[in-house]
Structure 1
Amino acid sequence: MVQALRIWSFVLGVGFLVVGVLRTIPIPQLEPFAHPEYVHGALHLVSGAAFLQWGARRAVPRVVAVLGVLWVVLGVVARFGVLDHTDSVVHIVTGAVSVGLAALARR
């Protein structure tokens, strides 16, 4: 299960890095990326780097659980007007899946 969690961490890390870069570049053809969101992009870049760096080398369940909790909290807080509904749901689901997988890996 730890190996599966490392793969999850790698996939999220790469995905967050890609989204982080896209959030800083205006892409009018893609509605979520039409206007740059630098803070949002920076959060994705930092989180993606953390998933890649710490998820591959350290106590994977703890790292993925902590980052998952942070994303759930961010998703819940963002529902109060910082992000749109879809972004909030994606953050909450991603965080919850991360926490769930980390809990399974600790068994």
Structure 2
Amino acid sequence: MGEGGAYANLARPGEAEFRMLAVRSAARRRGAAEALVRACLRRARELRRDRVVMSSQTDMTAAHRLYERLGFVRTPERDRSVVPGLTLITFALELSPEG
């Protein structure tokens, strides 16, 4: 979780980014993914970031529903193709200081 740095792909100044969030198939549908995303959001607030950005593969529709339920919105202007045949779609969440 951070701004810039060697592993940030999307984050701009004032933004935090999380990447490659994954939950083992045996642990799915038990709240693990939501807990991980909420932990990322808490950390972003601790770092006083204004927004959290992230990307996801197009076929991860269950994850997309989770992100949207948590308030993330699609940011198609930031979508990108990382290798031929693999497009990452992007989402962002504006953070309020109180959470």
- TM-score bucket of the superposed structures, by smaller chain: 0.3 to 0.5
TM-score, structure 2 as length reference:
0.33
Name the larger-Rg structure.
1
Structure with the largest fraction of helix = 1
TM-score, structure 1 as length reference:
0.32
Structure with the largest fraction of strand = 2
